[in-house]
Every structure is written in structure tokens, then in C-alpha cells.
Copies of this chain bind each other. A is one copy, B any other.
Amino acid sequence: MATHTLSELAAIAGARLVGDPGRTVDGTAALADAGERHVTFCVDASWADGLATTRAAAAVVPTGLRIARSDLAWLESDDPNAAFTKICALFATERPRPAPGVHPRASVSTVARLGVGVAIGELAVVGARAELGPNVVVHPGVVIGPDCRIGEGTELHANAVLYSGVQVGARCVVHSGAVLGADGFGFEPPKRLGEPWTKIPQSGTVVVEDDVEIGANTTIDRARFGVTRIGRGTKLDNLIHIAHNVEVGAGSMFAAQVGVAGSTRIGRSAMIGGQAGVGGHLVLGDGVRIGGQSGVIGEVPSGVDLFGTPARPKREVFKHYALIEKLPKLLARIAELETRLAALEGARSSEKKERSA
């Protein structure tokens, strides 16, 4: 277990220490869970209640937020989240991984090519002509198909699957159960109802660029031809579906259970919320933001913020929600108008009668 003094933490995190610089801690924890050998953190004033009761030794706080407790040391920072991330990295123990070399119970093709430092766990499979760069880590049960190429330092977690010919860049993380390179979902419709669908050959592949993270049980299908591409530095959460021939730009971030249909192109730095769906054959620009559960069915220009199904500019959608809220009042206003108008009409008609009488 690593132990560090608060002054060490302050230096690493670029934080201002208020408290005993020599006090030591040996881990990180949330406000409510922390014990007396932990450092904790508070991102903003909405969490500040926890500061009064936490049992932590020290807390990372936004500059100016500390309270009157002398038993607690303070690490003040203008970016407490980033500061705490640096402290966490300090305490993060290397998670166990297969030892370098090929486990005797793994099954590696004699014509696969393994870089220096490659670690292949038990019961993993590496197919013919696959090329693994230096220091690639393959956990147990992973299946790497023939002709795959994997870049330096990439880690594939237990039971992930790469179909033949899939390419994954350097420093990627592929989590368990992810499937890269299954057939795109393409079938010619029957000419007549009841006749069979005809499978369209899916002869392309998947290319995952460098520094990508792919969540557990996420699926990325191979292209009909050409490639399905995940851009450099993009992060995909769990249970996401990326269909054939999709291209996702660099630096994008998709939350869990997102689905993107075939041949859609998404720009750089796109942010897509959980369970959102994007239709096929669309183009989404750079920096688009799609809210959770939205359904995108048309083109999206760069920088636009959408919400709802069908997805529309977020501001409009919430205006519509507010209007729907007003419908009961609106109904009442119409009923009142009808009553008042009928009264006027009645009055006029009796006046007329009077006059004509």
C-alpha cells in the first residue's frame, strides 16, 4: 500500500495545502466513505454538506470552499476534479494482468507475430498472421481472429472478440465482451413478401485508431466494403452498437447503450448521451451534442445541441415541453372566451329583438 504525505499530494496536484504537511494518507475515498487515512474531495458547493461530517484526513476543495474544521487538512485547487484525478493516479495500484509471454494454455498461431513484451493470458486465442505490437496485453479468453493488427500497448480484456482482419491502434483499451468486426446487418429485401432476405456480403473491416477505449459488450460491425472507423482518442462506453461503415471522428465520447445505424458519419468531438440513437446514412458535424435517449433522423450541423425524438435543437424541445404544460390553462382560456363571446352574442341578439320590436 502506497503512503504519501500531504505535502507530496499538494505538489503533485498543484494544490495549496492548509494543514500539517507531514501527515500521511494511504488512499482516496468519497466524502461519506473516507476514513482517517484517506484523502477525499468536493467538486463544488453542492457537495459541501459532506465536509462537515467526513472522517477523512484531508479534502481537495475548490479554492475558498473550506469550512471551520481544524482536524481536516485542505488541498485548495481551482480545478478540484483534475487535482483529485492526479492524486487517485498516485494511489491506483496496477491492476493484475497476464505476465509477459504466452501462457502455456493460450492458443497462439505459429504464424502470428508478437512484439516484445506481449502478454497473452490463459485460454486466449491468436489467429494466423495476426500482428501484436510491443507490450500488447491479452487477457484470458480473448479471441483475436486471423490477420488482425493491434498497436503497441493496447489492452484487451477477458473474452473480448476481434473477427479476422480487424485493426486496433496503439494504447487502446477494449473491455470484456466487446465484439469488433461482426458482419454488418445488410440484407436485400425480398421481391415478394414471404420470400427470403438475401445476405449482402460484408467484406470490409473495422479500424480503431490510437488511444480509443471501448466499453464492455459494445459491438462494432465490419463494413460492407471499406472500413467502419473509430477516430483517435474516442471513448465508447458499454453496450454501444456501431453499425457497418459508420465513421466516428476523433475525440468523441458516447455514453452507454448508444446506437448508430449504418453508413453514418459523425464528426470530431461529438458527445452522445446514453441510449441515444442515430439513424443511418446521416452526416453529423464536429462538436455536436446529442442528449440521452434522443433519436437523430436528419443531418446535424457542427456544434448543434439536440434533444428528443425526433431530435431537435434542445432549446426548442424544452420550449415545446413548457407549452404542453400550459395546455390545461389554454383549454380554460378557450372555454372562457367561448362563454364571454356567447354572452356578447346573446346580448346583441336580444337588443336587436328589442329594437325590431
Q: Which residues of A contact B (CB under 8 A)?
A: 27-30, 33, 81-82, 85, 88-89, 91-93, 95-96, 103, 105, 107, 121-123, 125, 127-128, 139-141, 143, 145-147, 157-159, 161, 163-165, 173, 175-177, 179, 182-183, 185, 187-188, 190, 193-201, 203, 211, 213, 215-217, 219, 221, 224-226, 233, 235, 237-239, 241, 243, 245, 250-251, 253, 255-257, 259, 261, 268-269, 274-275, 277, 279, 287, 292-293, 295, 297, 308-310, 319-321, 323-328, 330-331, 333-334, 337-338, 340-341, 344-345, 347-348
Contacts and interface: CB of A to CB of B under 8 A. Distances in A.
Nearest to A43: B281
A293 B309 contact: yes
B177 A161 contact: yes
Contact of A293 (B33, B295, B326): B295
A285 to B, nearest CB: 13
Given A85-B200, A259-B275, A96 B341 contact: no
Contact of A331 (B139, B145, B323): B323
A179 B142 CA distance: 14
A153 B229 CA distance: 31
A287 to B, nearest CB: 7
B141 A159 contact: yes
B241 A193 contact: no
B175 A179 contact: yes
A216 B216 contact: no
A125 B141 contact: yes
Given A30-B226, A197-B251, A334-B330, A256 B235 contact: no
Say what secondary structure dominates the interface of chain A: loop
B337 A341 contact: yes
B96 A194 contact: no
A89 B203 CA distance: 9
11 contacts: A82-B198, A95-B164, A141-B159, A159-B179, A182-B238, A194-B251, A241-B274, A292-B295, A320-B325, A334-B334, A334-B337
A207 to B, nearest CB: 12
A238 B219 contact: yes
B344 A348 contact: yes
Given A292-B295, A319-B328, 20 more contacts: A85-B188, A88-B203, A88-B224, A88-B225, A96-B146, A125-B140, A139-B143, A159-B161, A175-B179, A175-B182, A197-B233, A216-B221, A219-B256, A239-B241, A239-B259, A241-B257, A275-B277, A293-B293, A337-B341, A344-B348
Contact of A253 (B187, B255, B256, B261): B187
Nearest to A184: B237
A177 B179 contact: yes
B237 A256 contact: no
Most chain B CB atoms below 10 A, which of A85, A158, A224, A347: A158
A184 to B, nearest CB: 9
A197 to B, nearest CB: 6
A176 to B, nearest CB: 4
B122 A107 contact: yes
Contacts of A175: 179, 182-183
A157 B140 contact: no
B183 A158 contact: no
Contacts of A213: 183, 199
A333 B251 CA distance: 47
